[in-house]
């Protein structure tokens, strides 16, 4: 732990999905490890999951009334200018009251007003871009940011090259020890140690295509010599749980809090290709089949996935082909020891285990 003569105040803003929230919490934890006296305030979007997850992690959060722009004309789009102005005014008040030494944005529309207001007060700002295709908010903020931490090469096409620092994506520490927790994981999920385990995750909000594919494939899964941990997301949980009732080797969860245990027991993983999921898979070194979501800006999940596929570090099934190909590919992978070992070895090389600490150190350098 490195303690300075002065304690710092730092605002971290952003959110909307777990892909933004959990990296933000990892950065906050790393800052606290460097100096326990550091005071951290989160700023998120009212009504979004960060308003629950951040306090659970032990940090204070303030919500802004900001909302995203819908791709089609909706009444909420007409309200956007008013929400943006209101959010800017509130962000300025937060900065006046908290007096931060630095402001950090992790993406998502909640970070826009806060970092814009911070830059207007000449407060050092850093943004962290998780994806291989930069988000709209981060592209907008890039000109004003002092440093930009990225997880993929080639980000000069979005950001000024002189501001870019390649750090990887921050991931909570417990994922690093996942493979040492197999015994605890078997007990937690009530699984057999004699059967291979398939972990199916669709992100914090769930993934409709993956869930529908699993539902349609329950007869095949029930006959296979494997066991399945299926994280559905809260929107799909009831229908998936009902569909899997009576299929004894398929265990359905709406949300899995101890993801370290889930990775610890998994022999193969089906996952969306969000930046957080990929970063966790790299650090847990798990053989994975990625199913990129087609419902994200600029198809960035496909770009994330192809970065691994091109390095022999993961397999990919397109969303439109999932119903036909996904479960057969997963069952084949589960029974192919050689391919699992190769994918695991290659994905491990891509992981950046010290990303959170490196980003925290860059924030402190900015202040000093």
Is 92 marked within a binding site?
no
Is 68 marked within a binding site?
no
Whether 4 is in a domain gets the answer no
Shared-domain flag, residues 149 and 285: no
Shared-domain flag, residues 78 and 113: yes
Shared-domain flag, residues 255 and 232: yes
Asked if 226 and 200 count as a contact pair (C-beta separation under 8 A), the reply is no
Is 18 marked within a binding site?
yes
Domain coverage including residue 24: 9-169+353-367
pLDDT score of 271: 97
In the beta sheet, which residues pair with residue 164?
A: 148
Shared-domain flag, residues 215 and 160: no
Whether 190 is in a domain gets the answer yes
How many domains does the structure of the chain reveal?
A: 2
pLDDT score of 173: 82
Shared-domain flag, residues 300 and 361: no
Whether 197 is in a domain gets the answer yes
Task: Write down the H helix ranges in the chain.
Answer: 18-34, 50-56, 75-98, 111-120, 136-141, 182-189, 208-216, 218-223, 237-244, 259-265, 275-284, 300-309, 322-334, 337-350, 355-367
Q: Which residue has the tokens 């084949």?
A: 332
**DSSP string covering 124-189, please?**
-EEEEE-SSS--HHHHHHTTT-SEEEESSS-GGGTS-GGGEEE------GGGGGGGG-HHHHHHHH
Asked if 164 and 142 count as a contact pair (C-beta separation under 8 A), the reply is no
Structure token digits, residue 127:
């943004």
Whether 45 is in a domain gets the answer yes
Shared-domain flag, residues 182 and 163: no
pLDDT in 10s for each residue of the chain, 368 residues: 555 567 899 999 988 776 788 899 999 999 999 999 999 999 998 888 899 999 999 999 999 987 665 555 566 555 666 777 888 899 999 999 999 999 999 987 788 899 999 999 999 999 999 888 888 888 989 999 999 999 988 899 999 999 999 999 998 888 988 999 999 999 999 999 999 999 999 866 679 999 999 999 999 999 999 999 999 998 999 999 999 999 999 999 999 989 999 999 999 999 999 888 999 999 999 999 999 999 887 788 998 999 999 999 999 999 999 999 999 999 999 999 999 999 999 999 999 999 999 999 999 999 98
Shared-domain flag, residues 195 and 62: no
Is 256 marked within a binding site?
yes
Whether 1 is in a domain gets the answer no
CA distance 203 to 111: 21
Is 87 marked within a binding site?
no
CA distance 38 to 71: 39
pLDDT score of 296: 80
Shared-domain flag, residues 308 and 181: yes
CA distance 229 to 251: 5
φ, ψ for residue 38, nearest 5 deg: -60, 130
pLDDT score of 17: 73
Shared-domain flag, residues 253 and 154: no
Shared-domain flag, residues 224 and 183: yes
How many other CB atoms are found less than 10 A from the CB of residue 306? Answer: 16
pTM over 0.75: yes
CA distance 265 to 198: 9
Is 301 marked within a binding site?
yes
State the DSSP code for 193: T
Shared-domain flag, residues 183 and 229: yes
CATH number at residue 266: 3.40.50.2000
Whether 43 is in a domain gets the answer yes
Shared-domain flag, residues 180 and 143: no
Whether 342 is in a domain gets the answer yes
pLDDT score of 3: 56
Is 357 marked within a binding site?
no
Whether 69 is in a domain gets the answer yes
Is 66 marked within a binding site?
no
pLDDT score of 6: 78
CA distance 340 to 336: 6
């Amino acid at each position: 732990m490195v303690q300075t003569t002065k304690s710092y105040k730092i605002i971290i803003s952003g959110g909307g999905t777990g892909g933004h929230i959990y990296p933000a919490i990892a950065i906050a934890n790393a800052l606290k490890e460097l100096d326990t006296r550091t005071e951290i305030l989160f700023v998120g979007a009212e009504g979004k999951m960060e308003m629950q997850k951040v306090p659970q992690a032990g940090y204070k959060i303030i919500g802004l009334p900001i909302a995203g722009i819908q791709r089609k004309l909706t009444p909420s789009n007409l309200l956007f200018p008013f929400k943006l102005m209101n959010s800017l005014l509130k962000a300025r008040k937060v900065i006046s009251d908290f007096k931060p030494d630095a402001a950090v944005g992790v993406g998502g529309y909640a970070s826009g007003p806060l970092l814009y207001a911070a830059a207007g007060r000449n407060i050092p700002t850093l943004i962290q871009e998780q994806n291989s295709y930069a988000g709209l908010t981060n592209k907008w903020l890039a000109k004003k940011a002092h440093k930009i931490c990225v997880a993929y090469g080639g980000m000069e096409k979005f950001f000024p090259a002189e501001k870019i620092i390649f750090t990887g994506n921050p991931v909570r520490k417990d994922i690093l020890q996942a493979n040492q927790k197999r015994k605890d994981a078997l007990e937690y999920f009530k699984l057999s140690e004699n059967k291979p385990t398939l972990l199916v995750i669709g992100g914090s909000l769930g993934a409709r295509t993956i869930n529908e594919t699993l539902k349609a494939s329950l007869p095949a899964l029930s006959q296979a010599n494997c066991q399945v941990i299926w994280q559905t997301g809260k929107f799909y949980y009831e229908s998936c749980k009902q569909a899997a009732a009576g299929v004894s080797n398929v265990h359905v969860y709406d949300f899995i809090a101890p993801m370290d245990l889930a990775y610890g027991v998994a022999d193969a993983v089906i996952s969306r290709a969000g930046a957080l999921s990929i970063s966790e898979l790299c650090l847990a070194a798990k053989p994975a089949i990625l199913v990129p979501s087609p419902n994200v800006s600029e198809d960035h999940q496909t770009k994330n996935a192809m970065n691994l596929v091109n390095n022999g570090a993961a397999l990919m099934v397109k969303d439109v082909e999932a119903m036909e190909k996904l479960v057969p590919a997963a069952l084949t992978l589960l029974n192919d020891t050689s391919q699992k070992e190769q994918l695991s070895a290659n994905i491990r090389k891509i992981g950046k285990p010290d990303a959170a600490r490196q980003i925290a150190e860059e924030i402190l350098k900015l202040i000093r």
